[in-house]
Structure 1
Amino acid sequence: MQLLKGRINRATYWAIVAVAIAAALISSLVFKRPLPAAQVVLLIAAVPRLHDLGRTGWWAGGFFIAETALILGGAFVLPPQPFQTALGLVVLLLAGLLIWLGAMPGKSADNRFGPPPPRGLSLKPGVPAQATTEA
């Protein structure tokens, strides 16, 4: 999947985050529940942003799995009030991680995920060149 390869810069990341949050807020107002696709969009944006920092995108997947496990498992195990408290803490942690991803400058040189992304808003990630195989 092309979206999960390469690198994106901070400007592009923040634009994607803004659109995802706006969609979730509008969905909450209109349909009285947040749009689950917004979380998927944030996950997809986090992967190339992690790549720009020189880290594997699997970190984003790990946080997504941990959050999902807490939501599904905690709803059945915890009483309502402690579950809401735990969920609030997870939301704060994820918000902090989203801010961290947008605040940290990317690596200025090529890394294993490709060349640095172009400056400014760009929806075309910096993708690594295809490796050539010698016979």
Structure 2
Amino acid sequence: MRGEVISVDSFSGDGLITGEDGGRYTFSASSIRAALRIGDKVDFVGTDGVATDIIALTSQPSAAPAGGYGYAAPAATGAYDFKTAMFQFEGRLRRSHFWITWAILFVAGIVLGFIPILGTLIGLALLWPQTAMQVKRLHDMGRTGWWVLAPYGANLVMIIVTFATMFGTIAMNAEALENEDPAAIMALFGSFGLVALIFVVINLGWLLWLGIADSQPGRNKYGPNPKNPVDDTANTFA
């Protein structure tokens, strides 16, 4: 049977074909001999809504149909897409797009932080895109997105250490603090400052690691290399 590709997932390689019989058939990346694009004419075997043994007849990339089936694969240049970068946890995110997303969220957090109450709520909402971009950056390095919990765990430990250190210092220097002994006060702030410094180092180190570490070459289990997704997918299925 002959048909036309109307949807291709740029990450998995799966897609959808409309057949000459008017039916729609799903296909997996393992069923194609070369990467397909929206608009390609194909010959295939269709059984129970699934297309197999797919052979591309022509290659005519086009925009997604007006009915809204699927979407076109990202451009080979890897153009920045803020919706994908900020709101999706699937796939990979290249370093430059990570820093663009981080800068947008950083500025938004500062500006919105001046709005009473609403700014706090929006700040909490920004945790979603912040986590999404970190998960995809981890994917790009070939690591599971669960690593994103590491800095949260470290921060929790540092908060516990901070309070423990402060209470310990207060307990050991209670009398001196009551008498406003400068040495005791400096010891209290000194212990707090050391913990705060470690806190900053951990979070800054995490940010720099995510933003500087190189991508895993080629396609991995999370998708094609975001620097050139179309060519990478083509090489994978060629």
Structure 2 length as normaliser, TM-score?
0.42
Q: Which has the higher helix share?
A: 1
**1:26 paired to 2:114:** no
Structure 1 length as normaliser, TM-score?
0.68
Alignment gaps of 5+ in structure 2:
1-86, 167-187, 229-238
Displacement of 1:115 after TM fit?
Answer: 1.3
Which residue of 73, 98, 121 corresponds with 1:13? 98
Counterpart in the other structure of 1:125: none
Displacement of 1:27 after TM fit?
Answer: 4.2
Q: Is the 8 A contact 1:20 1:42 kept in 2?
A: yes
Which residue of 205, 211, 223 corresponds with 1:96? 205
* Secondary structure, aligned partner of 2:207: helix
Q: Is the 8 A contact 2:135 2:148 kept in 1?
A: yes
Displacement of 1:76 after TM fit?
Answer: 3.4
Alignment gaps of 5+ in structure 1:
120-135
What code does the residue aligned with 1:51 have?
H
Higher RCO, Cα 8 Å, sep 6+: 1
Q: Which has the higher strand share?
A: 2
Counterpart in the other structure of 1:106: 215
Displacement of 1:6 after TM fit?
Answer: 1.2
Instruction: Provide closer, same or farther for how the CA distance between residues 106 and 70 of structure 1 changes in structure 2, counting only shifts above 3 A.
Output: same
Q: Deviations over 1:15-63 (max 9, x none)?
A: 11101221233345566x9845555543321111011011111111122
What code does the residue aligned with 1:89 have?
I
Q: Let me know the Cα RMSD of the aligned residues.
A: 2.7
Aligned partners of 2:194, 2:127: CA distance in 1, in Å? 20
Counterpart in the other structure of 1:127: none
Q: What is the percent sequence identity of the aligned residues?
A: 28
Counterpart in the other structure of 2:152: 64
What code does the residue aligned with 2:196 have?
L
- The structure with more radius of gyration: 2
Q: Tell me how many residue pairs correspond in the alignment.
A: 116
Aligned partners of 1:67, 1:84: CA distance in 2, in Å? 15
Instruction: Provide closer, same or farther for how the CA distance between residues 40 and 96 of structure 1 changes in structure 2, counting only shifts above 3 A.
Output: farther
Q: Is the 8 A contact 1:49 1:101 kept in 2?
A: yes
Q: Deviations over 1:58-109 (max 9, x none)?
A: 11112212213422x2353221632343133222221122122112221231
**1:3 paired to 2:112:** no
Aligned partners of 2:207, 2:215: CA distance in 1, in Å? 14
Q: Is the 8 A contact 2:142 2:222 kept in 1?
A: yes
What code does the residue aligned with 2:101 have?
I
